[in-house]
């Protein structure tokens, strides 16, 4: 148990950014975004976690499908809201499943996923994007799964799809180097 907590602490500490980091730094530094994306590491940990075949409860998947023309017509505020709603739903589902899981490899992996999703949610919600704030709406009909590998794959697609497209829209705010 103590070894499990120590391992979790080391994983969390390795993913925490410098306290001085600002969301604009996330927008302007593609390498930092790539380094923060630890889905591949979690997928490798899942392969070593042979206990976890199916989750005790389904996890709501983030909306990843995008109609390019519709996405381009959205404001940055709408895009951010779309991503934040998906991340919020995902973190809530992961939290519920984690509380239902037995302690061990699966629980540790779910806790790591929850922490990672929360990091992204914090960054996205603190981006300096002006505009009217409307009530959040999902851009798709939510799907859910009992497969953690499907959850990780879908989360990765959200990061490399919608989130990267939003970052590309915001790079004009980056200071010139």
pLDDT digits (tens, 9 = 90+) for 102-112: 888 888 889 99
Task: Give this prediction's pTM.
Answer: 0.80
DSSP state of 161: I
Which positions ≥6 away from 139 have C-beta within 8 Å? 63, 66, 82, 85, 86
Lowest mean pLDDT among 14-28, 54-68, 95-109, 161-175: 14-28
Which class for 95: exposed (0-12), middle (13-18), buried (19 or more C-beta within 10 A)? Answer: middle
pLDDT surpassing 60 at residue 1? no
What are the E-state strand segments in 21-154?
59-60, 144-145
Write out pLDDT tens, residues 20-38.
Answer: 457 777 888 888 888 778 8
pLDDT surpassing 50 at residue 90? yes
CA–CA separation, 6 vs 32, rounded Å? 25
């Amino acid at each position: 148990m103590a070894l499990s907590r120590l391992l979790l602490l080391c994983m969390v500490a390795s993913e925490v950014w410098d306290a001085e980091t600002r969301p604009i730094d996330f927008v302007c530094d593609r390498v930092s975004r790539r380094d923060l994306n630890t889905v591949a590491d979690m997928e490798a940990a899942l392969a070593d976690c042979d206990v976890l075949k199916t989750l005790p409860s389904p996890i709501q998947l983030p909306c990843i499908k995008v109609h390019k023309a519709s996405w381009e017509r959205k404001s940055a505020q709408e895009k951010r809201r779309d991503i934040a709603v998906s991340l919020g739903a995902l973190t809530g589902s992961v939290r519920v499943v984690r509380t239902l899981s037995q302690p061990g490899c699966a629980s540790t992996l779910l806790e790591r996923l929850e922490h990672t999703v929360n990091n992204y949610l914090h960054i996205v919600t603190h981006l300096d994007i002006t505009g009217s704030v409307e009530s959040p709406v999902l851009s798709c009909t939510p799907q859910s799964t009992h497969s953690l590998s499907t959850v990780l794959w879908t989360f990765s697609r959200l990061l490399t799809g919608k989130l990267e497209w939003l970052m590309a829209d915001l790079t004009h705010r980056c200071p010139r180097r």
